Chain A
Amino acid sequence: MIFRTEDIKNYITAKSINWDKTVEQLNAKLFETTYNNNMLEVDVLPNRYSDLSSLVGFSRELHAVCGCGFKEPKIKLKESRKLLENFMSVSVKTPLCKQYFGRMVFGVKNKQSPKWLAEFVRAYGFNSVNLIVDLSNFVMIEYGAPLHVFDADTIPGKKIIVREAESDESFRSLSDKNILVSKGAVVIADETEVLALAGIQGGWKSQTTLKTKNIFIEAAVFDPTSIYRTSRAVKLQTDSSYRFERKVVRENAIFALDRLTALIQEHAGGEIARGKVEHGKEQLKKLVTVLFEKVRSYSGINISAQEIENLILKTGSTIIKKTKIALTVVPPAFRLDLAIPEDFIEEVVRLYGLSHITSVFSSKGMIAREDEMFALQDIVRSLLVQSGCFEFVGYSFIADTEEKILQKTIQDLYGKDTEAIYALNPMSQLHSVYRSLLFPTLVKNLKENAVLAKDLRVCEIGNIGVYKGNNIIEASHAAYAISMPRVQDALLEGKGLARLLFERLGISVHIKNSDIAGFEIAAKMYGEENQDFGYIGLLEKELSSSYDIDQRVVVAEFDLNEILKVFTFDVVFQAIPEFPAIVRDVSYVVQETMPVNYIEQELRHGGTELLERVELVDVYQGGEIEKDKKSITFRLVFRAKDRSLKDTEINSILQGINKELISRYNVVLR
């Protein structure tokens, strides 16, 4: 809200004001305020709009903050003998119109506004239309209550009806547009048609022109929610609707009506009808009990009861009861925001001065804990970064074109009933779909760095989300992407990192080859109870090329929500073994296509509890090894907890294993 300081002067008693100092006070005790070229700009927030967005209301607050004296306009109204009810009747047919007031003036001489008035309305953002319209805007700025003036002669039947719109009603607005009024919107109508969209905009037909002679002036209070909804439905936001949405004070409407009537008579002449239209009851004022101790404990200010009382009086409130522990307060009519004790605490604290609050730590101490998911993320992040990954924190949104490519991929990964989550009102197509996977952002980012290095590892930890059926699923994921000149290297590193990760987390997984759209080869990683922990795979060349990357890319992604379910933070220490180990390397020649973990499982199974560790140390092809075969070498570490092992024991274990391997897989010993 912008005020001219020359206008404020009319509502305060102080002869002069140091605006720079005052602005400082307003900033500290009211809202953000700036002062420039004799204009005061106050950032009036929704809760105080109803009382502060007017010259009268703002000046009153100015007095509370700086004690500059406040004076209200004097309203001089001369009514004639003509009774209003003989010329106009109003019937209010909707509870969405809380209050309705009206006055009439006969025989006005409308004209162009005088210079001071035209300048005034322009300074507050309106066009100067004519005297009557400009005066009603003047009074709206003065009291904060929107007013509307109808040309009374354009209302047939001399009857105004305030009602809710039926479906498919339309009216011609002041700005000469045909507006389709939504059902349930409050309208001001005569017996045949809609005259105005209540609280939002007047109509073409009943507007005041230079020819207007008899007028009906409306002041009202409409339901804020209804105005909010209607103004958005018809896409019409006016100064008036903005005010009604933020509540209009009944008393301001009453004063504004009389003030405008008097001003019209003063500047345009005419006779004021006797009496006025009055609909809607005064709302009962709520009593609020303010406990002194609560003010102190809330604020941390050691403030006396007397001081609290003085500050509350500054708000214009009435104190109707005072005890040793509390005040019973009635807020002033113009302060619709003061309804609960905390509201009064706010008033006391700000008028006392927030700058007087000294910081104190009164906590008795609480032990800080970390969310388990954060803790798991930290472990995973450290491991990935230690393993050479650059960490990214990417945007949570990707382009819809990217999402289309991934549609089949997410269905292969999460199930056929999976769909991506789209933003209803995205800022741009580039960021219109919530991520369903982390890897696309990673791969995109690889490309950015491809000129800098050939050996690239990147990782990210972030949330993803999808629709699974009708349910929204959001989960924390960790992912990495590795790109190296040789595909086999990238695959080996990628797999090694996944194995290391699960080893460090102490979680056993099994790997299952899977067909996943977008991947040339891929495998999924499952927990002991078949929990879906994630996947690893080599992106199809076409897909990585679509991100402009020449090198092949291996990605792996982990569902941290699933992993957290089985992860234990406690570490069980195991004593360093006392007795020496026997280490044996065993080599077998097998079919090239045979997965190495077949042999590994057999070794673990046959190795008994004495087998401490199995490690694949070499895979060899070529040379003396037949084509289509490979030689694999495992290192086996045997150890007993209670004694030194004998070679003969191990020999017989190995003999058993070899026999089994030969008969099951037809391996050849080397």
Chain B
Amino acid sequence: MRDQLEGILRELYEVRDRIKNADELETFRVKFLGRKGILREFAQSFKDATEEEKRTIGNHFNKVKQEVEDTLADLTEKFKKRERVRFDFTYPGKTPLVGYRHLMSLELERVKDIFASLGFSSYGGYEIVTEYENFDSLNIPKNHPARDMWDTLWIDQKEKGEDQTETEKTKYLFRTHTSAYQVKLLKEQGVPLRAIIPGKVFRHEATDRTHDFEFHQIEGLVIDEGANIAELKYVLESFYRAYFGKDLKIRLRPGYFPFVEPGLEVDLGCIFCKGKGCLTCKKTGFIEVAGAGMVHPSVLQESGIDPDSHYGYAFGLGLGRAVMLKYGISDIRLLHSADFRFIEQFR
């Protein structure tokens, strides 16, 4: 009988380690402690034993029974603990409070980053500038038809006193191009200079799907050794390739802007049709994206830089146009949208 008890104990140890869940534990309980369980059956079997046997075996039996009960209690505790947290992962969950950057500020940062990788520093400048900064300093004199190339939004100026005549007064305007900062920046930073001037510009122009009276421009200005048309082409090509993530081509055409000589028009190989011609590029395979050229000697002179020993290039590109092309936005006025449903689409 002693051997029998040892056998029960062995079985207990064997079975105990194989129990994996509450159901198996119940089978275990029934097997050992049930009404027809192993222990009950053993107790029945030594009912007829001698007093001597009953004393020694009984003692032993109680220890085994205790061991079984302890094991059961331990395992019950264990499986109670392992009961899992309930959660439906198809619930939407609680949205944390997050903000979104506006499309234009995101794209502006991208542009700054791309140009930084080409060694360009970025500068801000003012939106309100003098007539001199916007025109005269850039070789666009008063009463010259070249001024008609920019429809200017003027400031309604406060009178400065009776004695001043019309011509003496400094006239202010909302900059028509970021080029208005060229001379001032060259004076402030000196040469060599490799800079972009991103910012808002303003025109006295009626608005439609492709024109807004207020839009973002990126000015580029480089006065440095080797800063020639070939490098200008490289820089613009690299910029557009990085910005659109496509292998694009730049085409230069003759152009005219009074503050550059030679003046250039910059076309970008159509990002939609790869030059085959589509609706966006009006079947030409190219899209006009920027004006550019070699900085006019008179602009350098105006900036206090000797044009005989320094030269460089400048360009002005419309950010809005690039953004519209990139995302397929067909109305430029949407770029000022304040609708959350517009803003939250971009990242």
Does B251 have its Cβ within 8 Å of any Cβ on chain A?
A: yes
Contacts of A229 in B (CB 8 A): 143
Does A7 have its Cβ within 8 Å of any Cβ on chain B?
A: no
CB 8 Å contact bits of B157-197 with A (1 = contact, 0 = none): 11010000000000010100000000000000000101000
Contacts of B194 in A (CB 8 A): 363, 366, 368
Contacts of B336 in A (CB 8 A): 393-395
State which of A28-36, A538-546, A607-615, A639-647 sits at the interface with chain B. Answer: A28-36
- Residue contact A298 to B225, C-beta cutoff 8 Å: no
A239 to B119, CA, bound (A): 48
Contacts of B250 in A (CB 8 A): 359
With A30-B254, A370-B121, A396-B202 known as contacts, the answer to whether A424 contacts B234 (CB < 8 A) is no
CB 8 Å contact bits of A359-379 with B (1 = contact, 0 = none): 111111111111101100010
Of all chain B residues, the one with the shortest Cβ separation from A427 is B213
Of all chain A residues, the one with the shortest Cβ separation from B256 is A45
Size band of the A side of the interface? 35 or more
A424 to B146, CA, bound (A): 21
Of all chain B residues, the one with the shortest Cβ separation from A388 is B97
Minimum CB–CB distance for A360 against chain B, Å: 4
- Residue contact A421 to B230, C-beta cutoff 8 Å: no
Near A by CB (< 8 A), chain B positions 211-235 give 213-214, 224-231, 233-235
A452 to B342, CA, bound (A): 12
- Residue contact B338 to A448, C-beta cutoff 8 Å: yes
With A45-B256, A359-B231, A427-B206 known as contacts, the answer to whether A365 contacts B119 (CB < 8 A) is yes
- Residue contact B254 to A346, C-beta cutoff 8 Å: yes
Minimum CB–CB distance for B35 against chain A, Å: 60
A465 to B153, CA, bound (A): 15
Of all chain A residues, the one with the shortest Cβ separation from B230 is A300
Of all chain B residues, the one with the shortest Cβ separation from A296 is B228
- Residue contact B153 to A423, C-beta cutoff 8 Å: yes
Size band of the B side of the interface? 35 or more
- Residue contact B233 to A357, C-beta cutoff 8 Å: yes
Near A by CB (< 8 A), chain B positions 93-140 give 97-105, 109, 112, 115-124, 126-128
- Residue contact A390 to B99, C-beta cutoff 8 Å: yes
- Residue contact B264 to A354, C-beta cutoff 8 Å: yes
A391 to B347, CA, bound (A): 12
Does A425 have its Cβ within 8 Å of any Cβ on chain B?
A: yes
Which of B103, B112, B127, B206 sits near A370, CB closer than 8 Å? B112
Minimum CB–CB distance for B231 against chain A, Å: 5
With A359-B234, A396-B127, A445-B338 known as contacts, the answer to whether A389 contacts B99 (CB < 8 A) is yes
Minimum CB–CB distance for B309 against chain A, Å: 11
Does B205 have its Cβ within 8 Å of any Cβ on chain A?
A: yes
Contacts of A328 in B (CB 8 A): none
Does B145 have its Cβ within 8 Å of any Cβ on chain A?
A: yes
With A354-B253, A357-B233, A449-B338 known as contacts, the answer to whether A472 contacts B172 (CB < 8 A) is yes
- Residue contact B128 to A423, C-beta cutoff 8 Å: no
Near B by CB (< 8 A), chain A positions 197-234 give 224-225, 228-229
Which of A355, A359, A364, A467 sits near B225, CB closer than 8 Å? A364
With A301-B230, A357-B252, A448-B338 known as contacts, the answer to whether A434 contacts B128 (CB < 8 A) is yes
Contacts of A357 in B (CB 8 A): 229-230, 233, 252
- Residue contact A387 to B99, C-beta cutoff 8 Å: yes
Which of B142, B158, B340 sits near A419, CB closer than 8 Å? B158
Does B262 have its Cβ within 8 Å of any Cβ on chain A?
A: yes
Of all chain A residues, the one with the shortest Cβ separation from B335 is A393
Q: Is the interface of A mostly helix, strand, loop or mixed?
A: mixed
- Residue contact B155 to A424, C-beta cutoff 8 Å: yes
Contacts of B339 in A (CB 8 A): 448-449
Contacts of A301 in B (CB 8 A): 229-230
- Residue contact B235 to A361, C-beta cutoff 8 Å: yes
Does B207 have its Cβ within 8 Å of any Cβ on chain A?
A: yes
Contacts of A47 in B (CB 8 A): 146, 256, 258
Minimum CB–CB distance for A619 against chain B, Å: 23
Q: Is the interface of B mostly helix, strand, loop or mixed?
A: mixed
Of all chain A residues, the one with the shortest Cβ separation from B284 is A27
Of all chain A residues, the one with the shortest Cβ separation from B148 is A46
A3 to B262, CA, bound (A): 26
Contacts of A381 in B (CB 8 A): 101, 105
Which of B146, B154, B160, B230 sits near A299, CB closer than 8 Å? B230
- Residue contact A421 to B128, C-beta cutoff 8 Å: yes
- Residue contact A396 to B224, C-beta cutoff 8 Å: no
Contacts of A387 in B (CB 8 A): 97, 99
Of all chain B residues, the one with the shortest Cβ separation from A392 is B338
Contacts of A423 in B (CB 8 A): 153-156, 174
A365 to B343, CA, bound (A): 37
Does B47 have its Cβ within 8 Å of any Cβ on chain A?
A: no
Minimum CB–CB distance for A483 against chain B, Å: 13
Contacts of A472 in B (CB 8 A): 128, 155, 172
Which of B149, B160, B263 sits near A470, CB closer than 8 Å? B160
Does B209 have its Cβ within 8 Å of any Cβ on chain A?
A: no
A47 to B254, CA, bound (A): 12
- Residue contact B229 to A388, C-beta cutoff 8 Å: no
- Residue contact A228 to B158, C-beta cutoff 8 Å: no
Does A107 have its Cβ within 8 Å of any Cβ on chain B?
A: no
Interface centre among B121, B154, B230, B264 (most CB of A within 10 A): B230
Does A405 have its Cβ within 8 Å of any Cβ on chain B?
A: no
With A297-B228, A359-B250, A386-B99 known as contacts, the answer to whether A391 contacts B105 (CB < 8 A) is yes
A374 to B213, CA, bound (A): 24
Which of A32, A300, A393, A465 sits near B253, CB closer than 8 Å? A32
A457 to B97, CA, bound (A): 10
Near B by CB (< 8 A), chain A positions 1-43 give 27-32
Contacts of B143 in A (CB 8 A): 224-225, 228-229
State which of A76-84, A168-176, A265-273, A337-345 sits at the interface with chain B. Answer: A337-345
Contacts of A520 in B (CB 8 A): none
Contacts of A368 in B (CB 8 A): 115-122, 194
CB 8 Å contact bits of B308-347 with A (1 = contact, 0 = none): 0001000000000000000000000001101111011000
Near B by CB (< 8 A), chain A positions 404-439 give 419, 421-427, 431, 434
Does B297 have its Cβ within 8 Å of any Cβ on chain A?
A: yes
Which of B122, B128, B214, B227 sits near A395, CB closer than 8 Å? B214
Contacts of A576 in B (CB 8 A): none
A245 to B142, CA, bound (A): 12
Does A349 have its Cβ within 8 Å of any Cβ on chain B?
A: yes
A389 to B105, CA, bound (A): 14
A145 to B252, CA, bound (A): 32
Contacts of B141 in A (CB 8 A): 225
Minimum CB–CB distance for A441 against chain B, Å: 8
A474 to B204, CA, bound (A): 20
Does A397 have its Cβ within 8 Å of any Cβ on chain B?
A: yes
Of all chain A residues, the one with the shortest Cβ separation from B236 is A359
Of all chain B residues, the one with the shortest Cβ separation from A475 is B126
A449 to B342, CA, bound (A): 11
- Residue contact A427 to B205, C-beta cutoff 8 Å: yes
Contacts of A340 in B (CB 8 A): 261, 297
With A298-B311, A423-B174 known as contacts, the answer to whether A342 contacts B128 (CB < 8 A) is no
- Residue contact A297 to B120, C-beta cutoff 8 Å: no
Of all chain A residues, the one with the shortest Cβ separation from B115 is A368
Q: Give 9 pairs: A residue, B residue, CB < 8 Å, sorted on A.
A: A47-B258, A298-B228, A362-B228, A365-B119, A368-B120, A421-B156, A426-B153, A427-B153, A472-B128
List 17 extra interface pairs beyond A385-B100, A425-B153, A472-B172, CB under 8 A: A29-B254, A45-B255, A46-B149, A228-B145, A300-B228, A342-B261, A342-B296, A346-B261, A360-B230, A360-B231, A374-B122, A374-B124, A387-B97, A387-B99, A421-B128, A426-B153, A463-B127
Name the 9 nearest CB pairs between A and B, nearest first: A300-B230, A362-B226, A346-B262, A445-B338, A359-B234, A45-B256, A368-B116, A388-B97, A385-B99
Interface, chain B (partner A; CB < 8 A): 97-105, 109, 112, 115-124, 126-128, 141-146, 148-149, 153-158, 160, 172, 174, 192, 194, 200, 202, 204-207, 213-214, 224-231, 233-235, 237-238, 250-256, 258, 261-265, 294, 296-297, 311, 335-336, 338-341, 343-344
